[in-house]
Structure formats: C-alpha cells, structure tokens
Amino acid sequence: MTTYESCKDQYKTIIETTKDGYWVNDSSGKILEVNGAYCEMSGYTKEELLCISIIDIEANESAVNTNKHIEKIIQKGSDIFETRHRAKNGLIYDVEITVTFLSQNGGLFFVFIRDISLRKQYEKELLLSSKVFSTMGDGVIITDIDLNIIDVNDSFCKITGYVHHEILGNKPSMFSSGWMEKEFYLELWNRIKNDGYWQGEIIDRKKNGEIYTSETSIVVVKNKEEKITHYIAISSDITIKKEQEKAINSLAYYDTLTKLPNRFFFEERVNTKVASAKRNSEKIALLFIDLDNFKTINDSFGHMVGDKFLQNVAQILKSCVREEDIVGRFGGDEFMILIKDFNNIADLAIISTKITGMFTKPFRIGKDEVFSGASIGISVFPENGDSYHELMYAADTAMYHAKVSRKGGYEFYSAVMGENVAKRLEFEKNLRKALENDEFHMVYQPKIDLTQNRIYGMEALIRWVNPVLGFVSPDQFIPILEENGFIYEVGLWIIKRTLSDTKKFHELGFEDLIVSINVSYIQLENERFVIDFRDIVNEIGVPREFIELEITESQIMNNIEAALVKLDEITKCGVKISIDDFGTGYSSLSYLKKLPAKTIKIDKSFVLDIDKDENDKSIVKAIIELSKSLNKSVIAEGSETQNHIDILKELGCDKVQGYFYSKPLKYDDFIEYINTFKKR
C-alpha cells in the first residue's frame, strides 16, 4: 500500500472541501487522485482525469519541458509557479500551482491548483475599470508614488476588517504583522524596481490583530512618459489554503501518535544535515533509542496505556535536547535523535545520561504506574560513517550492545569517549565540592535610576574561583549545575548569602537598596522552593519589598502555565518578580499581561549596538513602550557607554545597569562605590 493510499482517508475531507483544485500524480505525470473542484475547473470528469497525464492538460510547457520541471521539483522538494491549463472544451486558462514532492514509494506530487484567470486579466488591465475594481473578489490597494493609499476596494476591507476611511491616507505598512524581515521588503522593492511587478506571499495583520497569509501581486502604473504614477497591490487571504497544505504535509511527514517526525522525514533531515556537515566540517550524531519492557506494558495495561506512555516518552526526549535538534519516531518503541553541531563527545554522554535518568522513576498513566528504561546507541559523523545508512547502522549496532550489556544505559559505536569526557567528569567533581570548600562568592552590580542619579538597587551574581582551575565563568558552570540538579542547593546558598549582605547594606544606611537575585526555573520546579525561600527570608529578616527575583523570559516560556502558578505563589510572599533577558523568549502578549512581574529587563544583546543598529534601537523602543503600557518598570542591562545612556534616556528608559557605571563588585568594593557615587 502506498503512502498516498494509507493517508487518503485522513485527508479526504480536506481536499474535497477546498475551493482550489487538487490532485496527486506520480513521477511520470500520471494523475492518481483528483478532487471535485479541479473537475469543475477543467470540465473533465474524475474518471477521465485519472486516465490521462498532466502533459495532456499542460498548455504552457512542452512535454520535454514539463518533464524537466518535474525533475526540478524532485530536487527542490516543492515549488510554486504559474502556468496555463487546457480545459476539456479546449479553453486555455491561467492557474497557480503549489506542489510538494515526497520521495518514498517512487515519488508522489501533492498539487494544489488555483484558477487565476480572472486575476491575471485584472492585472493586465491594471484594474483601472472602476466596475471591476469594486466587484472583484480579491482585495485591491492603489497608492500614489509616495505609497500613500488613495483607494481600496470592498474586498480588501472585508479581508482586513477596516473600513475605507481608516485606510485612506495611510501607508501599506499599517498592515505589517512584524513577521517579515527587513531583507524581505528590500528584495520586494528591488524586484519591483527592476521588473515592474512582484508576486509572493506576505504575512499581514488584520484590524482585530489576527495574523493572516496574503497572496499578493504588486504592479506599477506608468504614464505616457514611462514614469511611475501609482502602485497597485492585488491580494487574497490564503490562510485556509496554507493550513490545508500544512495538514497534508503533517500526515505525510509526522507520526500521528506522537507528532514527531516519522522515519521518512527524519531520514530526509539527516541527509540534509550530513551534506551541510561535509561542506562546513561540522559534527553531528545520531542517538538510537529503544525502550525496555514496552511489550510488557502493552500486554499488561493495554494499547491505550501504551500509546499514552509513548506520547510521554516523546515529550521527555524533546525536553532533553535543544530546540534545533530533531527527535523522531521510527515506529513501535524505537526513537531517533539527530544532534546538530555538538562540541565534543562528552556532550552526547550528558544528553544520554539525562535521557536514561528520566526512566529511573515510574511513569504515571492515569491510575497506573508503568516502569521502563531506555537503551541508547550513539554514532558520530564523520568517525562512524558519512551517510544516513552508515550512521544508522552504527547507532543501531551500538544500541544492541547497550541493551545486551546493561539495559538502561548507552554505548558509543567507537566505544571510546576521549579525553573530553574525563575532563568533564573532573570539572563536575570540582564543582560539587565548591560549595563545601567555600569556593563561591557573591558580587553585586549596581542599578542606576537616571532620573534621580542614584543607586536604587543591585543584581547579585555568583562567582567561582577554584584552586586548580582558577576563575571559572558562570557561563561554564551554571548550565552544569542545572543539568545535574545541584543548582537547587547552590541556589539556596546564593539567596542566603545575598540576603545576609543586603541586610548589612541596610544597616550601614543604604536602607532603600533593592536586591535582585537570579533564579533558575529548575529551582522553581522544585516543590519545596517557595517554602525554603520563605524560611530564608524570615531567618535573615530583610523586608520583602526590597527583594526581587529575576527569571529569564525563555525559561518562563518553556512552561508558561506552570510558571504562572509558581510566580503567583512567590508574589504572595511579598517579593517582586523581574523578567530577565526580555526580548529573547518570544513571549505572547496575552501571557505577558498575566505574568505578575513588576519589572522587565531588556536583554543586553539589544542594548550593546543600540547606537549602531536601528533595528536594535526600534526593538528597545518597542519594549519600553510595551512595558509602560502594561504599567511595568523597565531597566536596560548592558549599558556600557555614554551613547547607550543618552539613547536610553531619549527612548524613555530611566533605569540602567552596565559597565558604564560599574562592573559587578565584591561586598567591600560595593560599599566604597556607593559612598563615592553619593559624592558625585
């Protein structure tokens, strides 16, 4: 049975309800399936179409060129183009083709066909006929040479939700969704300048804020002197069409149970990455994961529990790797992971240990508890192979050895992890002893209120100096603390030491100093965190209104619903919440409104080039305005020059933190800095 036939029942409803024509053809051009919309469009019956080839319908290209085009699509994987078809009655009409090629089972082409004859006619006549302009189904905008909108038709108003008077006099940028890159528009206008037209897809925004995909054609209107006088944009809302294409692609490329990439899609991605790795001398790895005792789970608890278990495993595996890595399911109890661009073999050992560690506790599925394990085989490019099949063989072989030698473990195909593993283990050993050996200390970076020219607060930052390793950057050891769970114990030490120092600052006369403490979401996930935090606050005695916890935006967005619950618990303790590194985590505005945060900290990556990059400046301005609209305080970190300070003032940011004022300072140095600052 072909992939097409196995998926037919699932996407039949989609293809039969679309207004666009749809067919499936093989590599020879023979039509295998067609919907009613295309039958109506072409005048053929379904039976007639299933007996002919696309060469019999194609009116633009010769048979030779059509076959060349098919080969081109096979290489690209998809294409969007315009051509002409010949109806049964001999009439030739314009169509737009959207085609996706799947390589398995000899190759299948999934094709959407839209009749654009009317649109093409309108474009040729430049829509200067007012009757056509007002009655056509596509939306139309007419602008002058300066891109001021001078007219729109009713269809455009219907698409966007605006009325005429709200649009006229504005520029088309009023519909911008913010999703399209600056480079996209530069290329668009370059094409219009050179060719006199542009055609493509744009993601725009309606009046109600809804995002939609617009299929748009832009043409220029010239006078007798060949000077441009107007621009005309013809657009249609193809959001539903895009969703239908996405649904069909999902059926072909993804496992229906776990929603992970299936075997075919995974193989395609690995082949693509192998080719890239060869060109760029990159390292990639495959992890072949086989679940232990899965048959027993199915036999003992039934397939429904087994399915739920597999869905849980899929989520666990995704949580153990980076977003750019790919987790796939091959069927049954076999999963694969493609690890891209890793640094050394030790990284793969850490990931594998993390995965196997997830199986040390039972899985709760409803009222049932199920026990399983994961055996992992690892292959590395290029050491263990330079193709998908070679790497798969190596990973599969290594997995077999792992399963035989020690269930619930992992094996490298090479069997030797190298010096990096030993170094990593030694590093982690030193890190675990750092707390008991008193190798950690705290430093404090002042926060400045520009309107009052005073230090109003400080951020507490941990530092590690090891007798052998010397100074170790937090970027090196904090991720490892988070990976092995030791961050919780170290985090409580940070809170206690920081609050003790803060109390001393208050007793020295700096009683209005607010302290910000960074908290990892791994700490928040611990069910005892709020209790332990509250106990330390009560023990030290720092007033809660002078305590702020900083949590990075990306960590909050990893599990927003759980974060909202935990952050509400913390705010009930009377302390403040600050969203750190804002702008890097893709926060939803609806969730941002719900977050009980009092402060938003602009990520330094946007501030560092604010005086050189207009995009960064625009982002910072938008964040400041957004924060103020939500009644939240805003602070910019990474403020390192006078230019930074001046621009931030200009944009309305009145609180800053950065090396322009001071680097992070030890306790005694911080006291000296405050006293010196007061004398300015």
Average pLDDT of the residues in 443-453 = 94
Rounded to whole angstroms, how far apart are CA atoms 19 and 662? 64
Q: What is the mean pLDDT of residues 145-155?
A: 90
pLDDT of residue 421: 41
Residue 299: what residue type?
D
- pLDDT tens digits along 10-58: 667 777 888 899 999 998 899 999 999 999 999 999 999 999 999 999 9
Distance CA 575, CA 597 (A): 10
Tokens of 420: 């990096």
Sequence-separated (6 or more) residues with CB below 8 Å from residue 291? 313, 333, 334, 335, 372, 373, 374
- Mean pLDDT over residues 68-79, rounded? 90
Q: How far is it, in rounded angstroms, from Cα 14 to Cα 22?
A: 10
| Tokens describing residue 221 | 């209107």
Separation CA 361–CA 371 (nearest Å): 7
Which pLDDT tens digit goes with each residue over 275-299? 888 888 888 999 999 888 777 677 6
- Binned at pLDDT 50, 70 and 90, residue 679 comes out as low
* 222 backbone dihedrals φ, ψ, rounded to 5°: -120, 155
Helix H or strand E encompassing 112: strand 108-115
How does residue 603 score in pLDDT terms, banded at 50, 70 and 90?
A: confident
Cross-sheet strand order for the sheet of 284-292: 326-331, 334-340, 284-292, 373-381, 410-412
> What is the separation of C-alpha 146 from the centre of its chain, rounded to a whole number of angstroms?
36
Q: What is the dihedral of CA 571, 576, 582, 585, to 10 degrees?
A: -20
Contact 122, 217 (CB under 8 A): no
pLDDT at 522 over 80: no
> What mean pLDDT comes out for the span 476-484?
82
Lowest mean pLDDT among 49-53, 99-103, 594-598: 594-598
pLDDT band at 265 (very low <50, low <70, confident <90, very high): confident
**Which ranges of 236-344 does DSSP label H, i.e. alpha helix?**
239-253, 263-280, 294-301, 303-319
Confirm if 115 and 137 have CB atoms less than 8 A apart: no
pLDDT for 419 equals 43
List strand residue ranges (DSSP E) for 351-424, in order: 363-365, 368-370, 373-381, 410-412
**Mean pLDDT, the chain, integer:** 85
Q: What is the mean pLDDT of residues 83-103?
A: 93
Contact by Cβ (8 Å): 566, 543:
no
Task: Answer yes or no: is pLDDT of 7 > 60.
Answer: no
Q: For residue 558, what pLDDT is reported?
A: 58
Q: Which pLDDT does position 416 carry in this prediction?
A: 46
Structure confidence at residue 56 (pLDDT): 92
Nearest residue to 612 (alpha-carbon basis) of 582, 644, 642: 644
Average pLDDT over every residue of 488-509: 95
Q: Residue 408 corresponds to which tokens in the numbers above? A: 């619930």
- Return d(Cα 533, Cα 573) in angstroms, integer: 9
**pLDDT at residue 97, as a whole number:** 94
Predicted TM-score (pTM) of the model is 0.45
For residue 250, pLDDT over 80 is answered with no
Instruction: Identify the weakest region by mean pLDDT among 261-265, 310-314, 325-329, 496-500.
Output: 261-265
**pLDDT band with cut points at 50, 70 and 90 for residue 405:** low
Lowest mean pLDDT among 66-80, 206-220, 302-316, 439-453: 302-316
Query: Has residue 420 got a pLDDT over 50?
Result: no
Which positions ≥6 away from 411 have C-beta within 8 Å? 376, 377, 378, 398, 399, 401, 402, 405
Model confidence over 373-392: pLDDT tens digits?
888 999 999 888 888 888 98
Q: Which of 122-131, 196-205, 244-253, 425-434 has the highest mean pLDDT?
A: 196-205
Give the model's pLDDT for residue 128: 55
More confident residue, 309 or 295: 309
pLDDT for res 628: 87
Give the pLDDT mean for 413-423.
50
| DSSP three-state, residue 261 | strand
Backbone angles phi, psi at 458, to 5 degrees: -155, 150
pLDDT at 80 over 70: yes
Query: Could you tell me which residue, 493 or 278, shows the higher pLDDT?
Result: 493
Name the nearest CA neighbour of 211 among 223, 220, 201.
Answer: 201
**Per-residue confidence (pLDDT) for residue 418, from 0 to 100:** 35
Cis peptide before 362 (omega within 30 of 0): no
- pLDDT band with cut points at 50, 70 and 90 for residue 138: confident
